[in-house]
Structure formats: structure tokens, C-alpha cells
Amino acid sequence: MCLSEFDIIRTYFQREQQSDSVIAGIGDDCALLAVTPGQYLAVSMDTLVAGRHFPLAATPYDIGRRALCVNISDIAAMAATPTWFTLGLTLPDANHEWLKQFSQGLFDIANRFHCALVGGDTTRGPLSITIQVHGQAAPEHVLTRDKAQAGDTVFVTGTLGDGAAALAMLEGRLAVDENAQHYLYERFYAPEPQVRAGLLLGPLSHSAIDISDGLLADLGHIARASDVAIEIDVEAIPLAPALASIVARSPQIWREWSLTGGDDYQLAFTVPAAHIHTVQQLIESGQLQATAIGRVNSTDTTPSVSCQLHGKPYAPPSTQGYQHFVAP
Ligand code: ADP
Ligand code: MG
């Protein structure tokens, strides 16, 4: 079957509109969207290039899921609610089966987060996917990188190191049991965007960021933007139960993964003393999965991120270290 650009759009991307906020969606020159009065519009874009942001062997279903998950993660980090997205799709050829699976993965995530596909562009070329995602945020609760203050406690949601461990597994550098295999596969291809956590934390935190480049690199963004010194307790960093046996075997490698590995798409956020109790209650009641991992101090020199291990200064490993990891 020979598919034209318009066949592709109509068959795979034009769906029944489920959102009242979409006045005009796919099919006109622009999408027309009704923004809720008094809300900020949050806009973010990420491109995924085959072989760089996902393995060449990735299934189209998984590419679709991952592309939208990593984009929605940025919306979550600002305490915004995802609402609409556009899709720039560059394809080497118009393959029916590929498009069917890709759009299935994409819409599985879109439907779960009530985020409507409202437009895009379709071109021929090496496989790459660009998504621009839009969200709405309450101005008084929006979270940015530049409001961390001395005295804040640093938290992270979920567990860290999963993204780097998953990539090592997918690239054949890490052998794991079946249980961990499934866990890591899902963490890589469908990293759960922390939208609910972001919305809970909006009124309770000074600043937040999503961890895409690695904990230390991303906290470095908060430290610079807020002009503070951040201190991390390495032993407090939360670890996925599925990785426990790997970590026991190679604690040093896991530290590298969790501090510098990236691709975790959890939120790091800083909470002032006044709200610590409320955040702890949310954690204890199971409404929020998060762990305190450090603190924000004032700086009279340059912004910094430093680590301690059991109270002693700890020099974080180099970012390249994990590449030397060989499957046990
Ligand atoms: P134009 O020529 O006006 O730029 P296009 O032919 O590029 O329009 O696209 C036609 C319609 O299909 C537009 O509404 C556009 O937003 C939508 N569209 C194109 N590609 C995609 C895609 N990959 N996903 C969703 N919508 C798309
Ligand atoms: Mg166009």
C-alpha cells in the first residue's frame, strides 16, 4: 500500500477529539486552543533521534511511548498539567505496520494523560521525532529552577539509576534476571511522567527540575539558577528493589548510574522547612513516592553541587565510568 503524507495523517494521527479545549485540531492551518483564563501556558519541545535517543532496535510502539513520556516529564517538572501536543515526524518511508504501532504507543500515553494531539508536520528523511508539548499551570504554584533557597531540603521522586541501568541492559553491557529485565525495559521506554507529583509539590516546593541529564548535572542547573550550594547524601539516594542484587555486586557502578547516568525522568525538588512536615505526610500516606537526599546551603563563592557519603566528602565518579561496565 502506498501512503501519501495526507493518508498518514488521516489514518494514524487524526483521532476523535476528546477535549473541549481543542477548537480546531488536525486538518486546518493551525490548531486553535482555548487556554484557561488566568493560567500560564507551559511549552516544551524535545527531539528524539534514532540511534541517539533510543536504540535502533527499538520497536515503533516503544519509540512512540518514550517520545511522549520524556516530553510530558518537562511539563510535570514545572507543576503544570499536560493538555496538548504537536508532532514533527521525519520518516525514511511510509510503512503501514510501523505507523500503526508507533501511533498506538503515542496514543496510549496521550490518552492516559488526557493530552490531545492537535497538529504536526510529516516529512521524509532519517527517523526522528520532535514533540512540542503544552501544559497549563497555576501562576502561584508553578515550579522553576531559580527559586531554591538556603535551608531547603532536596528530595527526589521514585528511584534513581534506572535509566542508566536500562540503557546498559539494552546495549548488552548488563545481564539481569527476568524480573529486573521487565522493570528496566519499562523504565526506559515508558518512564512515568511525574505529573501528579509535580502538581502536589507546586504549592509546597521552592524549585524543581526533571532528571534527564543525571542528578548532579540537573541539580547543577538549580544551583546556578538559584545561586546556592547543594549538598547530597549519596547513601540516601533511593534504589529500585529490582536493582538490589546488581547494586550489591557493584555499588560503585550504581553510584555512577544514580548520580550521573541520566534518563530517569524523576523530579528533584527543594522544600522549605515550613512545608517539610506536609511533604513527609504525603510520603507516609502513599500519595507521593519521594526521598530526602540532601540540603540547600547559601554560597558566598560560586554555586555548586557536592556529595557526602556517610558524612565524609565524596568525589562523584566521572560520567564516562559506566561505559567500561562489562556484563557479569
Ligand atoms: P500545511 O501545509 O498547512 O502546513 P500540512 O499539510 O503540513 O499543513 O498538515 C496538514 C494538517 O495535518 C495540519 O493540521 C497539521 O497540523 C497536521 N499534521 C501534519 N503532520 C502531522 C503529524 N505528524 N501529526 C499530527 N498532525 C499532523
Ligand atoms: Mg506543514
Q: Are 101 and 58 in contact (CB under 8 A)?
A: no
Query: Ligand 1 in contact with 129 (CB < 6 A)?
Result: no
Q: How far apart are CA 265 and CA 279, in angstroms?
A: 20
What pLDDT does 318 receive? 65
Ligand in nearest proximity to the CA of 13: 1
Ligand in nearest proximity to the CA of 87: 1
What is the 155 CA–ligand 2 centroid distance (Å)?
42
- Tell the residue nearest (CA) to atom 9 of ligand 1: 121
Query: Ligand 1 in contact with 67 (CB < 6 A)?
Result: no
What pLDDT does 274 receive? 98
What pLDDT does 227 receive? 97
Query: Ligand 1 in contact with 166 (CB < 6 A)?
Result: no
Ligand 2 (ion): residues with CB under 5 Å are 121
The full set of domains in the chain, from first to last, is 5-140 (3.30.1330.10), 143-314 (3.90.650.10)
Residues in the chain: 328
Q: How far apart are CA 40 and CA 23, in angstroms?
A: 19
What pLDDT does 180 receive? 93
What pLDDT does 112 receive? 97
Sheet holding 267-271, edge to edge: 207-210, 267-271, 153-157, 290-297, 229-233, 304-309, 312-314
What is the 291 CA–ligand 2 centroid distance (Å)?
45
What is the end-to-end Cα distance of the chain in Å, rounded?
Answer: 46
DSSP state of 237: S
- Tell the residue nearest (CA) to atom 8 of ligand 1: 29
Which atom of ligand 1 is closest in space to residue 121's alpha carbon?
20
Query: Ligand 1 in contact with 89 (CB < 6 A)?
Result: yes
Q: How far apart are CA 130 and CA 108, in angstroms?
A: 18
Query: Ligand 1 in contact with 207 (CB < 6 A)?
Result: no
- Tell the residue nearest (CA) to atom 27 of ligand 1: 120
Query: Ligand 1 in contact with 27 (CB < 6 A)?
Result: yes
Residue 179 dihedral angles phi and psi, to the nearest 5°: -60, -50
- Tell the residue nearest (CA) to atom 5 of ligand 1: 121
**10-residue mean pLDDT series, the chain (328 residues):** 84 86 94 97 96 93 98 98 98 95 98 97 96 98 98 98 95 91 96 98 98 95 97 96 87 91 96 98 98 95 94 79 36
